[in-house]
Amino acid sequence: MTTDGSAPEAIIRTENLTRVYRLRGGEIRAVNGVSLAIYPRQMTAIVGRSGSGKTTLLNLIAGLDEPTEGEVWIMGQALGAMDERARLALRRERLGFIFQSFGLLPLLTAAENVGVPLRMRGLPSGEREARVREALEWVGLSRRARHRPYELSGGEQQRVAIARALAAQPQIILADEPTGQLDSQTGGHILDLLRRLVNERGMTLVIVSHDPMVRAEADVVHELRDGKLVETRYKSA
């Protein structure tokens, strides 16, 4: 609820979202008529078995893939009405991304990796360096700033990826299996950091995952099966 008691507006909304892949032997409906709303300052999980369509749905929400039918709205803007330049600007300025494979550049240090999106936005060096320092400190990696990915553990690499998303100061973070390559204990630590992004930074977090810990932690869980939204569950107060 907002301060005046009214319901908040959805920060992401999909309506009848469908993605069909046409193959020689027929067609696959990877996402099939999905309509859902994602609200600000919540941790929302999109879950399902492998092949359920959850990563395809995330790519559609991010504007990385084109729907066959339906529409996505982000902060009131219809992605279908944007050209690719406008979508790129939206991803660069409003969205942050965290990947299962960490997505770090191997020859760059942790600090340099965190700074990559800021360089792409053309931020002045002083502001860029301050944001990088603050983000690495927030994820507890100040002392590892000069280390390259191969010198870091899997959990540390994922923390660098979280710092990279945080430094860009997005309103929405989209995370694709962020605990998928980590053991359960390290995955739990990463999930704690992601929860803090919501509680302390006021960010909206959308996580695609099959991890039971993510299901338990999320405020809202949307479950997909064979490309269809089959259930939405809300965390008990």
| Domains defined along the chain, listed by start | 40-63+84-234 (3.40.50.300)
pLDDT tens figures, 85-106: 999 889 888 899 988 788 899 9
Alpha-carbon gap, residue 47 to 229, rounded angstroms: 10
Name the 3-class secondary structure at 199. Answer: helix
Residues of the chain above pLDDT 70, percent: 97
Residue 237's pLDDT band, with cuts at 50, 70 and 90, is low
Q: What is the pLDDT of residue 106?
A: 92
Average pLDDT over residues 173-183: 88
DSSP state of 58: H
pLDDT category, 15, cuts 50, 70, 90?
Answer: very high
pLDDT greater at residue 15 or residue 122: 15
pLDDT at 236: 72
Q: Note the Cα 134 to chain centre separation in Å.
A: 20
- For 11-23, what is the mean pLDDT? 94
Identify the DSSP state of 6: P
Q: Both tokens of residue 100?
A: 């299962």
d(CA 96, CA 82): 19
Residue 1's pLDDT band, with cuts at 50, 70 and 90, is very low
What average pLDDT does the chain have?
90
- Start-to-end CA span in the chain (Å): 13
CB 99 within 8 A of CB 119: no
Q: How many CA atoms lie within 13 A of 198 on its CB side?
A: 19
**3-state class (DSSP) for residue 176:** strand
Q: Which two tokens stand for residue 122?
A: 């053309």
Token pair 């969205």 in the structure block, residue:
95
What's the confidence (pLDDT) of residue 3? 47
| pLDDT tens-place string over residues 124-144 | 999 999 999 999 999 999 999
3-state DSSP assignment of residue 158? helix
Query: How high is the pLDDT of residue 122?
Result: 87
Please indicate whether residue 145 or residue 120 has the higher confidence score (pLDDT). 145
Give the number of residues written for the chain. 237
CA distances from 151 to 40, 51, 136, 189 (A): 36, 33, 16, 19
pTM of the model: 0.89
Give residue for tokens 């990796």: 113
Pairing label, strands 228-234, 220-225: antiparallel
Percent with pLDDT over 90 in the chain: 69
The maximal CA–CA distance of the chain, rounded, in angstroms, is 56
The tokens for 168 are 């860009």
Residue 6, pLDDT > 70, answer: no
**What average pLDDT does range 197-218 have in this prediction?**
92
Structure tokens at 41: 């300052």
7 pLDDT band, cuts 50/70/90, is low
